[in-house]
Amino acid sequence: MPSEPFQVCPGTAMFTVSYVPTAGASDVLENVLHFQKNDLSDWGPSEISALTTQFDAWRGTSDGTNALLTNHTSAHTLVGYTARDLSVDGGPEYTNAVSHAGLDAGAPLSSGLSKALTLRTGLSGKSFRGRIFLSGLTATLTGTYGPDACDPAVLGAIAAAWNNLITVAAGWTPACKWTVLSRKHKVGSIPNVTRDTGLNTPVTAVSYSSTVIDFQRRRAPLHGRRN
């Protein structure tokens, strides 16, 4: 299938967070975020680099209680961030290699199990909400509610940490905001029509609809696919 032509997304950086099992297995777990500059200008090379550095600083403390690393299995290591400018075709890209193992030494849950958090924008419709997936889960997350549900207190702390990113990112240099990027939309009765330019909507809240554990078939053992 031929690839689609490059789509201009004004002032937008695509930001990939990558994890691998600490034991060195080939599995790669990724979450993709987007940030848009307030002035909608292109991201320069130094700005793209600074984005990874500032995110890493936030990731280390998150909401002040280190809820993200504290509740991430020590069997997984955060290995890097890749930021790419989507404002222009061939825009700058930068990879910041790090090594941050999770701090939870509890028994890891099956790699096919995850939990999705919803990125809310205050607008309805699939074009205006996104998702991030919590990987590297352990029995700490389920607690006495397991094996099929999360402990509300632990899940709430993780969601609070991600909510903190909304405020923190607004203070980064260059001035930007965390967004949901929509590349396609429905026109009349025709779904998945590619937009002329990507549409960003600021994230206003990170939430979850239930505490039930999710199952991702493509992350199940031996399936060999990424998040």
pLDDT in tens, 76-114: 888 999 999 999 999 999 999 999 888 888 878 877 788
pLDDT in tens, 161-207: 899 999 999 999 999 999 999 999 889 899 989 999 999 999 999 99
- pLDDT score of 26: 61
- Domain hosting 35: range is 12-219
With respect to residue 148, please indicate whether it lies within any of the assigned structural domains.
yes
Q: Give the number of domains in the chain.
A: 1
Counts for the chain of helices (H) and strands (E), in that order: 4, 10
Dmax (CA) of the chain: 51
The span from the CA of 13 to the CA of 93, in Å, is 9
- pLDDT score of 145: 86
- pLDDT score of 63: 60
- pLDDT score of 227: 44
With respect to residue 5, please indicate whether it lies within any of the assigned structural domains.
no
With respect to residue 1, please indicate whether it lies within any of the assigned structural domains.
no
- pLDDT score of 114: 85
Whether residue 219 is predicted with pLDDT greater than 70 in this model: the reply is no
CB 72 within 8 A of CB 27: no
pTM of the shown model: 0.89
With respect to residue 225, please indicate whether it lies within any of the assigned structural domains.
no
Sign of CA dihedral 136, 219, 211, 207: positive
**165, exposed or middle or buried, with CB in 10 Å at 0-12, 13-18, 19+?**
buried
With respect to residue 105, please indicate whether it lies within any of the assigned structural domains.
yes
- pLDDT score of 40: 97
Helix (H) / strand (E) element for 80: namely: strand 76-85
Count CB atoms within 10 A of the CB of residue 217: 8
Whether residue 225 is predicted with pLDDT greater than 50 in this model: the reply is no
With respect to residue 2, please indicate whether it lies within any of the assigned structural domains.
no
pLDDT in tens, 1-42: 557 789 999 999 999 999 887 665 567 888 999 999 999 999
- pLDDT score of 23: 64
- pLDDT score of 106: 83
CA 129 to chain centre: 13
pLDDT band at residue 220, thresholds of 50, 70 and 90? very low
